[in-house]
Every structure is written in C-alpha cells, then in structure tokens.
Amino acid sequence: MSDLKPPYQSSSNGDLIIRTSEGIEYHVHKFLIANMSPIFADMLPIPQPVAGPEPTKPVVDVTEPMHIWSAILDLCYFQEAAFEDPSGTVETVQALLEAGKKYEMCAVTSRARRALLHPPFLACHPLSVYALACAYQLEDVARRAARETLSLPPVPPFVPGFELISVRTLCHLFDYRKACASAACDALSLARGRIQPWMQESGCWESVRFSCGDRNCPLLRARLDEKVHGIWKTKEYPQALVEYLERLCEKLNGEVRPSLATSPDLLMAFIGSATTACPKCAVKVAGSIVPFSTATECMIERCISGITLEFEPSL
C-alpha cells in the first residue's frame, strides 16, 4: 500500500460519513459502499441534492472500530486489505467475518477467508481457523484447518474462536483426529503376524528382509506371514522392523503427523540394531529403512486423506 493517505480519510472526499466506534470519521462515496454492501445500498437509496454552499454529508454510526473499517474501505477503494498480512490477529479476522456477514459484504468475507487459509496464519492458528470456519460456514476452510490440527498435541488449549462453536462441533474435530490416528495405525499393524500388502509393494522390501544366509546370523528376527501368489508364507524379518512400526504407531496416537515415519530417532534405532548385530546383513538391511520409512510416510498421508471431517456449521 502506498504512503499516501487513503481517500476516505480526507474530508473533501465522498458524500457519506462512516463514523467508527471510536468516533473516527471516514469520508466515503455512497456508490462505492453501496456497490459492496446491499445493506448500505438499502440504507442509502437516493443521492440527495443539497441546496446551499455547504452540503452536509449524512453520517452512519457503525459499531466496528477504525481498524476494521479501514480494512473494509481499503478493499472498497483499492481492492486490497490490510488483513491479508500474516501477522493479523484472529480477533481481526473474526471481526471482518462478522462485518461481512452483518453488512452482507461478500468481498470482505472472501478476503477474510483467504486470510484464514494464508499458510503462515493457518499454521499458527489451526484451531482458531477451524472454529471461525465452522462459525461462519466456510466448510472447505474447516477441512483444511482440521487437517492442520493433527500435528498438535492431543488435548488442545482453549483458543480465540472456541467461544463461537458448540461442544459438538469441537467433538467432530476430536473424532476426526481419532479416526485419522486409527486408520494410520491399522495400516501399520502386523495383526495376526501378517505383513500388509503395501509393505511388500514398497519397492525396498527385498532389502528389508535381506539375510546373509548364515545359520548363526545374530540379527534378531521375527517370524511373520507374507502373502506370496495368494498364499500366506512364514518368513523372517528384522525384529527392528516390528519395533519401528510399533513405536511409530505409539507416536501417531499423540500427534497424527505423517513425517513422524521418517523421524531421526526411529530411523537411528533401526539402523543401530541392524548394524551392530551382523555386518554382512547390515550392508543391505540398515539402509532399507530409509526408502521404507518414506513409503510409510506416504501410506500414513493416504490414510489421513481417506478420513472425512464431519462438518457442522455452528451458527
């Protein structure tokens, strides 16, 4: 935005005064504000020709403070608005959503929607964005925000915006989180000692289960079943793989974050146990965790994408 004073701050402009809650007067052109808001259009029907040398402008007292009205008028005059600034607060975006609703200003709502989805803002305030999206019926925003909340600790703090939504709406978020964690853990589970098809198809499977063939190979192994041409066959896999999957599942019950699959502590634990036991096996087995963990991360991502948040607008 330029350093020049916006036109609505100059008393020589406009044919209407909008007076903010602090008593600040903005000099506005009726046709511009009426064009933006059907509520104002109804309020200001006919331009009144005023006789005499000093025409007076009608005054509309509004309940919003000046920083909200300057954002609205910036949008009105310049098609830009200060609230796209990522440092904007949740309270400001909420006030704009409220003004957008009250004065039926689609342009304001749409800019506020973009502010909610602005990546730094969303990353910083995912719970507030979820609450505001539910309160103002922005379904796509609510879904994006819910996805973003998965990497938070399981018990969220009370944040601005929660006062706008019902307990039920908040429960939908918890249910979504639980469903995502459980879908991911199901995909990682070796239930009934069985390897899952996606693991076999992960491209690095041959290396994961590589064995030097030595009968006295000291690498700890677990016996698991793998489906070969439709028939279950028992084979041996590094015990470290079973532990990797179990520990990852435990972590996912805290934060539902796909990148946990490639977290250094899990990878190092696997590599450590593979390299110390048998140097001959280590060559292939230790490195196999890198592509396998990447395949695992993709799998978790896919599980989460398959879960749908139940959206229920709160107002």
**Site for Zn ion, rule CB under 5 A:** 212, 217, 219, 278, 280-281
| 61 versus 214: smaller Cβ distance to Zn ion | 214
What CA–CA distance (Å, rounded) separates 200 from 212?
A: 20
CB of 248 to Zn ion, least distance (A): 24
Contacts of 34 by beta carbon, 8 Å cutoff, 6+ apart: 40, 41, 44
| 17 versus 217: smaller Cβ distance to Zn ion | 217
CB of 277 to Zn ion, least distance (A): 7
CB of 292 to Zn ion, least distance (A): 18
CB of 218 to Zn ion, least distance (A): 7
| 52 versus 213: smaller Cβ distance to Zn ion | 213
| Rg of the chain on CA atoms, in Å | 29
CB of 219 to Zn ion, least distance (A): 5
| 82 versus 217: smaller Cβ distance to Zn ion | 217
What CA–CA distance (Å, rounded) separates 231 from 238?
A: 21
Please check whether residue 269 is in contact with residue 244, taking contact to mean a CB–CB distance below 8 angstroms: yes
| 138 versus 278: smaller Cβ distance to Zn ion | 278
